[in-house]
A and B are shown apart, each in its own frame.
Chain A
Amino acid sequence: GDSVTQMEGPVTLSEEAFLTINCTYTATGYPSLFWYVQYPGEGLQLLLKATKADDKGSNKGFEATYRKETTSFHLEKGSVQVSDSAVYFCALSDRETSGSRLTFGEGTQLTVNP
């Protein structure tokens, strides 16, 4: 079945540091890939997405490129802020095998210190 693996957290960075959160996936079809962010006590918000190979999703300074050859969708940001502290989830949706159901990674807790 489909699966998503994220780098283990927690990740602690200083403000303005470079961020990378690794995400790899396994899917039988051609999935769409997503990054969601969850702030404390809240639900999930879509951060960015990519629907086909080599697409780059970007939002709020975050970027991720859909790499089919390495089955990866790593999240990056050049300069993090304290307000970026949250839990980040990588996810996939494989229409051919499971419709619009989302399969989530384990989540990575990011803490940014001033």
Chain B
Amino acid sequence: GAVVSQHPSRVICKSGTSVKIECRSLDFQATTMFWYRQFPKQSLMLMATSNEGSKATYEQGVEKDKFLINHASLTLSTLTVTSAHPEDSSFYICSAERGRYNEQFFGPGTRLTVL
């Protein structure tokens, strides 16, 4: 149990377009989901905390108008990178918190490449 999926696993887009990444908890309900960004050979940087039915809480320095987060249900959160630029190219990872144990379960990640 406690499986988190992400879709797509890889996406290539042109500069100026928007890309949506989905994060789903497949076998549990997640009131809280987290979005991370990881640059090559670096650690994970928390971008935002997503709570079901309310606005996401963004970390300092993360543009909320550029990285739109929607947590519409207890099993789905989406991250939309708007007007993507090459510097947005990165590995984006989500995690979902399973309430009973407050343990985070991570998705497999989405590799975004902006040309």
Contact = CB atoms under 8 A, between A and B. Distances in A.
Contacts, number: 43
14 contacts: A42-B109, A43-B4, A43-B93, A43-B106, A43-B109, A44-B95, A46-B103, A89-B43, A100-B97, A102-B95, A102-B104, A106-B42, A106-B43, A107-B41
A109 B42 CA distance: 10
Contacts of B111: 41
Interface residues of A, number: 17
Interface of B: 4, 6, 32, 34, 41-44, 46, 49, 93, 95, 97, 102-109, 111
B44 A89 contact: yes
Interface of A: 36, 41-46, 89, 95, 100-102, 104-107, 109
Contacts of B106: 36, 43-45
